[in-house]
Structure 1
C-alpha cells in the first residue's frame, strides 16, 4: 500500500484521495458458453490491481501505470478511444460509461499499481474497469447500485471499446469471496459462490508465453440460428436443465450445420456437464469428480473447440503423470487451458508434494519450446473493495 501512495505522490505531488483494489481472475470452465446462456465457473485470485486517484481542479485525466512507467492523458469532455493508449482505454471506457448513464465525473490524477500486466490475460483489464468504477462512484458521490455499475461497464465495453460484455468477468471480480469459486448463470444473470476446500492442494497459474494465434473466429458460433438450435436441445430437469443426450435427437437438430460448427456446439453441450460436475465436486469436496471434469474440459477444448496448442498440451500432460496411482477416472491433479482469447495460459491444481515436480517441468518446457514461462501460486480472494489508508 505504501508503494502506490508513494508512487502517486511522486507523480502528482500529493497523496491520493482514494484507493480501490480489484482481483485478477481465471475461468476454470465454461468461459466460451456465455452466448448460449450457460454457466461459467471462475475464481478471483490474489493478483491485485490497485487504483489510486485524487481530484483535479480541471477536467483533465492523468493516468500513470507504475510498473510500465507509462503515462497517458485525456479530458472528460473529449474522451476517445486511442489505440496507442492501450491499458488506459479500459479506464476511459468506464469514465465514459458513467457520463453516458448521467453520472458526470470530474478531472482526476490516477495511478495504477499491478505486478501482473494486462497482457497476461488473468483478468487484469477487467480489474482495471472494476477498480475505476469503485473510484468514480465514491470520489464523486454517485448513488449507483451494483446493477447500475454493471450497466456503466457494459456501455463502456460496447460503445467505447466496441468489445463484448462478459458477466462472468465482472461478477468474479466484484462479488468474489475468499476461499470460494464463483458460478455465473448467464441465463438468469445471477451468481453464487462455491467453496474451494481442497486441503493439501496448490493452485498455479502459468503464462506459457506462446504467441496468440487465432485459428478460427469464435464469433462465427454466435448466430441466432445456433442459439435456437442449442435452445431446442435443452431439457428441464426439476430445478435445473441439461442438454439432450440422445445421439439421434442431437444429429437431427444439428443436421443443418457444417461439421466444424456441429463439433464446436457439441463441445459447448459437453462443457455444460463439465461445469456441473466441477461444481458438484467442489460442493462435496470430491477432488476426483472435480479433477475429472476439469481434465475433460481441457480435452474437449483441445480436440473439439480447437483452442489449445502443443505447448499448453505438453504442460497439461505432464501434470497427469506425477502420480502413478492416479487414473483418468480418479485423478489426483488437474490442469486446463485458460486465459485471454484462445489462451496462452494454463492453470494447475496440484497436490503440494507435486509442486516442485511441476516447476522442474517448466524448466524442461523452456528448453524444449524456447518460451520463458511465468508461474504464479494463487489463492481465492475477496472481490473489489476500497482500501483504508
Structure 2
C-alpha cells in the first residue's frame, strides 16, 4: 500500500472531566464529525503536510523531526510521525492532506482526531503492527512532548477505540475498556451539543496549572493517584491549601459520578443520568473553576427548557455544552439558549445532535 485515506472522529465526554490524567475514569463517545487524512508514501524522507482549511503547506525532513521543529496546526501531524519513530517504528516520508469537519476550538478534540487519522495512515502505509491502545499512547505522546500540551489519554483513546452506539468506559490507569450501550433514539432521547462560541484554548497554562495542582496534592497525600482517595473528608483535612482542596474534591467526586453513570446505563436508566451530568458541571464551575459565563448560561437555559441534565464538555474555558433532552426538543432547547445569550450580548450559539459513532478507520 502506498496511498489511501483515513478518518478519525472528534469526541464529547458524557461525564468524567479532568480525571484522565489522574488515573481516573472517563466516558466519552465518538462523534460523526471527523478529521480525514489523505496520505501517500515518499521515498525522499520528506514529510509534506497540507490542509484544505489552511493556506500554508509545511515540509520538513522526517529524520530531523524534534519538538519545536514544526509549530501550529501541522505540529499535531508531525508530532505523530516523530512519536512513532521515537517508539522504534520505521516511518519514512509521507505526503498528507488534511480535511475534516470537527469544529475547531470547540473542545471536541479536533487535535486528537487529526493525530489519530495521521497515526492510522502511517501504520497502514508502513505496515506497522501496533495495537490501538498503544497507538493512543503514541498519539498522546505527540501532543504532550511535541506540541507541549499536557493532555491525558482520553481524547486519543476515544478517537481510536469508540464503537457505534456505545460509550467508551475507560479506566485511564490500566487502559481497560468497556463498550457501554448508548442508543438514545430507542428511549426517545437525544444528546444535544451546544457550541457556545466562547473560544476554547488549553495552551495558555490554565489546564496545565490544574494538572500540576492535582499532582502536588497526590504527593502530599502520599497516594499513587487521586482515584486512590478512600476517605474524601480525611483527604481534604490533610490539605492546607483551599485551591488544592477544591481540585481534589472535584476529581474524587467526578470519578464517583462516572461509576454511578455507568451503573445506571447498564440498568437501562438513561434519564436518571441527567442529574449526575448537572452535578458534574456544578463541580467544574465551583471546585475546578474551568467554566466561563457562556458555558454556565447555556447549562442554566438548557435545564430551564426541560433538559434532564447538562454540563460543559472538554477542558473548559470555552467550548461546548452537552444536554440530555427529549428527542423532539432540540430546537426548543437551542432557542432557549439563544434567547439567554441575546439578553447577555453573547455571540449566538449553534448546535447539533450527537450520535455515538465508530472510531478511526480507513476510508479508501
TM normalised by structure 1 equals 0.83
Report what 1:267 is aligned to. Answer: 250
Report what 2:39 is aligned to. Answer: 53
How far did 1:288 drift?
3.6
How far did 1:125 drift?
0.6
Within the candidate set 221, 224, 227, 2:213 is matched to 221
Within the candidate set 344, 348, 356, 1:372 is matched to 348
Report what 1:280 is aligned to. Answer: 263
How far did 1:140 drift?
1.2
Asked if 1:308 corresponds to 2:294, the answer is no
How far did 1:179 drift?
0.5
Instruction: Please state whether the residue corresponding to 1:93 is helix, strand or coil.
Output: helix
Within the candidate set 195, 201, 210, 2:189 is matched to 201
How far did 1:151 drift?
4.4
Residues of 1 paired with 2:105 and 2:224: CA distance?
A: 38
How far did 1:116 drift?
2.5
Residues of 1 paired with 2:51 and 2:14: CA distance?
A: 29
Residues of 2 paired with 1:185 and 1:314: CA distance?
A: 31
Report what 1:385 is aligned to. Answer: 361
Report what 1:177 is aligned to. Answer: 163
Report what 2:29 is aligned to. Answer: 43
Q: Which moved more, 1:195-204 or 1:63-72?
A: 63-72
The count of corresponding residues between Structure 1 and Structure 2 is: 356
Runs of 5+ unmatched residues, structure 2: none
Report what 1:18 is aligned to. Answer: 4
Change in CA separation of 1:141 and 1:338 when aligned onto 2, cut-off 3 Å: same
Q: Which moved more, 1:66-75 or 1:196-205?
A: 66-75
Residues of 1 paired with 2:226 and 2:149: CA distance?
A: 28
Instruction: Please state whether the residue corresponding to 1:184 is helix, strand or coil.
Output: strand
Note if contact 1:122-1:340 (Cα within 8 Å) is conserved in structure 2: no
TM normalised by structure 2 equals 0.88
Change in CA separation of 1:138 and 1:85 when aligned onto 2, cut-off 3 Å: same
Note if contact 2:143-2:149 (Cα within 8 Å) is conserved in structure 1: yes
**Residues 125-164 of structure 1 aligned to structure 2 (within 5 Å):** 125-164=111-150
Asked if 1:335 corresponds to 2:335, the answer is no
Residues of 2 paired with 1:115 and 1:42: CA distance?
A: 19
Report what 2:330 is aligned to. Answer: 355
Note if contact 2:195-2:319 (Cα within 8 Å) is conserved in structure 1: yes
Runs of 5+ unmatched residues, structure 1: 1-15, 236-240, 324-331
Change in CA separation of 1:353 and 1:297 when aligned onto 2, cut-off 3 Å: same
Within the candidate set 49, 52, 60, 1:66 is matched to 52
Q: Which moved more, 1:44-53 or 1:81-90?
A: 81-90
Structure whose alpha-carbon radius of gyration is higher? 1
Q: Which digits, 9 at most, give the CA deviation of each residue in 1:118-153, with x for residues without a partner?
A: 422211110111111111111011233335424432
Aligned CA RMSD, in angstroms, stands at: 2.7
Report what 1:346 is aligned to. Answer: 321
Note if contact 1:39-1:184 (Cα within 8 Å) is conserved in structure 2: yes
Note if contact 1:167-1:184 (Cα within 8 Å) is conserved in structure 2: no
